């Protein structure tokens, strides 16, 4: 299996920012399925195709160790999709005329479900992805539920296992849009939309590279649920662009994140922050690596490095000088 190292060098907080992954462009069209692929076409016009995505997933072999491929033709598929654990690598490809950008995606997975109507965050997700070694390209994944004040969590994606990669995919929701929960995960050249805790999880080493992150209402972008100092979890937003989705959304209304536990760890680096972000940055006023001495939380930190206008910090207040980012072995994702 070929791996790409997402974080190639360990770095201290006093040093330069972490090396970014080298991503290969995929500018050619993806408009036909490769030989041997499972094909989904909602019109049924393609011979041998399945008309729902779940039916296509169900047709995958649960015992083969050979790589499997699911190709989806254009359309809006209103369904919840569950990908169980397989023995093989899996590639899911949405129809597109330009695989290098999410703006040309023509396949939408759409569902409407919130926690108030089920028993866990995972069960609300439009795509519940439980297979290790999975690559997803050029989909629009949305949960259209919207917002209520209690039990309104509504996930677009529940990425519950490691070694998952998402490229040029749109994730659209309101609260808890992306659950990146376990293992090494990569989100590259994606659109991520939400308002409240819409990038969150507990145990993942999740790297968000060159993403457009868009806020649609007041809230916090990230919520790290790292439980203790032995948990290797990191949430890193690198080379990305954070703004309101349009000019109708109120300014200075969003935090970079809020801790979902005593040991939360989130990094924003090399990233443009628009006027949607509150000057304090973190929900507890954390702009840099620091432990708020007035709070009961321990070892909670949010780091902003090399942010671009209009939110360039005047000076860095790095307090945890000895801490190191994890080495490359933690950040290997097969893409």
**pLDDT in single tens digits along all 335 residues of the chain:** 332 333 432 232 223 334 455 555 555 899 999 999 999 999 999 999 999 999 999 999 999 999 999 999 999 999 999 999 999 999 999 999 999 999 999 999 999 999 999 999 999 999 999 999 999 999 999 999 999 999 999 999 999 999 999 999 999 999 999 999 999 999 999 999 999 999 999 999 999 999 999 999 999 999 999 888 899 999 999 999 999 999 999 999 998 888 887 788 888 888 888 999 887 666 544 433 333 333 333 344 455 544 444 433 332 222 222 233 444 444 444 43
Are the C-beta atoms of residues 207 and 328 closer than 8 Å to each other? no
* Both tokens assigned to 43: 């019109």
E strands present in 239-300? 241-244, 254-257, 265-269, 272-273
Are the C-beta atoms of residues 189 and 157 closer than 8 Å to each other? no
Strands 127-129 and 157-159: parallel
To the query of whether residue 98 is one of the catalytic residues in this protein, the response is no
pLDDT of residue 228: 86
- Domains for the chain: give ranges and CATH numbers: 4-333 (2.160.20.10)
Q: Exposure string (b/e) for 92-130, b if CB count within 10 Å is 16 or more?
A: bbbbbebbbbbebbbbbbbbebbbeeeeebbebbbbbbb
Are the C-beta atoms of residues 144 and 112 closer than 8 Å to each other? yes
Strands 191-194 and 170-172: parallel
Alpha-carbon span 259 to 202, nearest angstrom: 11
In the block, residue with structure tokens 């072999």: 61
Return the number of other C-beta atoms located less than 10 Å from residue 39's C-beta: 18
pLDDT of residue 108: 99
pLDDT of residue 50: 99
Return the number of other C-beta atoms located less than 10 Å from residue 62's C-beta: 11
Alpha-carbon span 326 to 12, nearest angstrom: 10
Are the C-beta atoms of residues 213 and 241 closer than 8 Å to each other? yes
Among the listed residues 197, 228, 229, 262, the single catalytic one is 197
pLDDT of residue 264: 85
pLDDT of residue 268: 86
Q: Which whole-number Å values give the CA distances from 243 to 91, 103, 229, 302, 325, in the listed order?
A: 30, 17, 32, 18, 26
Backbone angles phi, psi at 100, to 5 degrees: -85, -5
H/E run at residue 82: strand 81-83
CA-nearest of 279, 275, 266 to 207 is: 266
pTM value is 0.83
* Both tokens assigned to 193: 């939309």
């Amino acid at each position: 299996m070929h791996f790409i190292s997402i974080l190639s060098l360990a770095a201290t907080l006093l040093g330069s920012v972490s090396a970014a992954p080298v991503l290969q462009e995929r500018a050619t069209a993806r408009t036909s399925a490769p030989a041997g692929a499972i094909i989904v076409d909602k019109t049924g016009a393609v011979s041998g195709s399945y008309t729902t995505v779940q039916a296509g997933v169900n047709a995958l072999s649960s015992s083969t160790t050979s790589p499997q491929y699911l190709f989806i033709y254009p359309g809006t598929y209103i369904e919840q999709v569950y990908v169980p654990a397989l023995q093989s690598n899996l590639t899911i490809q949405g129809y597109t005329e330009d695989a290098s950008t999410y703006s040309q995606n023509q396949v939408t997975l759409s569902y409407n479900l919130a926690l108030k109507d089920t028993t866990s965050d995972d069960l609300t997700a439009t795509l519940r992805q439980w297979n290790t070694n999975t690559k997803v390209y050029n989909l629009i994944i949305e949960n259209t539920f919207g917002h209520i004040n209690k039990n309104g969590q509504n996930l677009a994606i529940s990425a519950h296992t490691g070694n998952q990669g998402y490229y040029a995919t749109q994730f659209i929701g309101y609260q808890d849009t992306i659950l990146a929960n376990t293992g090494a995960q990569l989100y590259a050249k994606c659109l991520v939309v939400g308002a409240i805790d819409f990038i969150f999880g507990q145990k993942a080493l999740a790297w968000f590279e060159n993403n457009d992150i868009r806020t649609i209402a007041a809230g916090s972008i990230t919520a790290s649920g790292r439980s203790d100092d032995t948990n290797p979890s990191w949430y890193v937003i690198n080379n990305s662009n954070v703004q309101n989705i349009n000019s109708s959304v109120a300014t200075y209304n969003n935090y970079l994140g809020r801790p979902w536990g005593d040991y939360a760890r989130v990094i924003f680096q090399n990233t443009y922050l628009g006027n949607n972000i509150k000057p304090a940055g973190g929900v507890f006023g954390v702009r840099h690596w620091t432990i708020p001495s007035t709070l009961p939380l321990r070892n909670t930190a949010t780091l902003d490095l090399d942010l671009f206008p209009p939110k360039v910090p005047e000076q860095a207040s790095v307090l945890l000088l000895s801490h190191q980012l994890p080495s490359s072995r933690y950040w290997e994702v097969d893409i």
